[in-house]
A and B are shown apart, each in its own frame.
Chain A
Amino acid sequence: MPAINIGEVSKGTKLIFDNAPWLVLEVNYVKPGKGNAFYKMRVQNLLTRYTLEKTLRGGEKVEGADVTDTEMQYMYFDGSGYVFMDKTSFEQLTIPAKAVGDDKDFLLENMDVWVTLWNSEPISLRLPNTVTMEVDYTEPAVKGDTQSRVMKPAKLKGTGATVPVPIFVAIGDKITVNTQTREYSGRVLK
């Protein structure tokens, strides 16, 4: 990737620092009236999701990262990785289990997700913010109690993941789950 003048970096720019790709979350330009300029940035490591503050000097060049987001459909798990299909080119791509991480808990066949590629290699994926999952097993429901804050574990169909749900939820119910917080967000009425 070509060097980018630091002055052209803005929110959303992807850069290479320490051999890793980073997403710029925020840039703040600061300088004393007549003096040296600094760019105070908040950046997120696209491999680890770790964020940090980084300061650069005005006039510096930085290296852009060849990072793109592509919409893909999840097909199946092949034993070592997750196989996706590019919705535009129909090409298949296998994402190693490590890059998928805990997101596997909410990854259902035929689900559309955004896959982040760095130098054409998949590094992470972004699930929809909420997904609808079916409850495969949970303790018997306490009927009528829709006010209680008491939670119980529920195993989800398709992935086998477990999330806490309110006690009125029954086996076979469809529930919505927030994929960022991994929390129950509602029940789909039949």
Chain B
Amino acid sequence: MSEAPGPHGEAWRPSATREALRQRAELVERTRRFFADRGVLEVDTPVLQGGANLDSGVLPFRLELPGGPRFLPTSPEHPLKRLLAAGSGDVWTLAPAFRSQELGRLHSPEFRMLEWYRLGWDDTRLLDEVVALFASLTGAPAQLEVLSWREAFRRHAGIDPHSVDDQTLARVIGDDAAIVAGDRRAALDLVQVARVEPHLGIGRWTALVDYPAEASAQARLRTGEDGLQVAARFEVYRDGIELANGYHELTDAAELASRLEAELRSRSGGELHDQRFAEAMRAGLPDCAGVAVGFDRLVMLALRLPSVALTRAFAWERQ
């Protein structure tokens, strides 16, 4: 009963107009030139991975193949980091990525991820490059607001996420508090999507930085301004929409292995560790910063379209 988004017509027809496809191709071309000018190597990455990406809240598709299960990448992070560990130098890719159960105006189970890594850089330096690329692709000036995760909650939801008590948190959430009762991380996530994110990136680019240590994913930790341990991680928003997630990458293989092990234990979807990725991390990831960008969202923003479906030749409902 759900209506396929896109121009009206039979479901075999494309979701995007020809003009949208032409402009998308131009954005891909400009992205390619951006990295070529900066000496970053374009690479292709495999789509059938031996092991699963293990990012909190991100579910991979598992495929049963002769010879054992394979996993569709939720981002091209693993093969890109293996290349870095092998001495590739700076690399980028525009690769298909897959996330089970993510579907909406800003989500599709299949999408394109733009991801790149810069050797010897930290997250701050990479953030500037991200905004430079976004400005050049969308035509919006590279004006950037940098806001700590904590400050964003204080300013837009009126609470300090580190110290707020459960009652106050429930009051801020309102009617929906019951669905996140007893799960503080989920409660803060709900405040973030409902109360904080809509205010980010209005009329400029906003970067959220200094994420709490629990949300460090594969970023290294550092001591933040207020003495708390924070993740060297940023996300970039425009018009309330999250576009990019970047890290000063964690290179400590033992610490990374323990984070991935904890994530795997919390799951029941039949995920397996990506052993070759783990071996590469043990061999040594060089000091680097990396970022992943939802490319369809970037196209949506540049073309002023209302959904990612309209940026793709064939959106999920018409695949």
Contact = CB atoms under 8 A, between A and B. Distances in A.
Contact of B107 (A13, A29, A35, A55): A29
Interface residues of B, number: 33
B215 interface: yes
B190 A55 contact: yes
Contacts of A5: 101
Interface in B162-214: 175-176, 179-180, 183, 185-186, 189-190, 192-194, 197
Nearest to B243: A33
B242 A28 contact: no
A32 B2 contact: no
Interface residues of A, number: 25
B57 A57 contact: no
A36 B55 contact: no
B1 A37 contact: no
Interface string A49-77: 00001011111000000000000000000
Given A32-B193, A38-B193, A7 B176 contact: no
B245 interface: yes
Interface string A8-25: 001111000000000000
A27 B242 contact: no
A34 interface: yes
Contacts of A13: 1
B55 A34 contact: yes
A53 B174 CA distance: 12
A111 B217 CA distance: 62
Interface in B143-177: 175-176
A35 B2 contact: no
B107 A36 contact: no
B33 interface: no
Contacts of A35: 56-57, 185-186, 189, 192, 215
Contacts of B185: 35-36
A98 interface: no
16 contacts: A7-B100, A13-B1, A27-B104, A33-B242, A33-B245, A34-B217, A35-B56, A35-B192, A36-B57, A37-B101, A38-B190, A40-B194, A55-B175, A55-B179, A58-B57, A59-B101
Interface of A: 5, 7, 10-13, 27-38, 40, 53, 55-59
The 5 closest A-B pairs by CB, nearest first: A29-B104, A12-B1, A10-B2, A7-B101, A35-B189
Given A55-B190, A57-B179, 9 more contacts: A13-B1, A29-B104, A29-B105, A32-B57, A33-B242, A35-B215, A36-B185, A55-B179, A55-B194
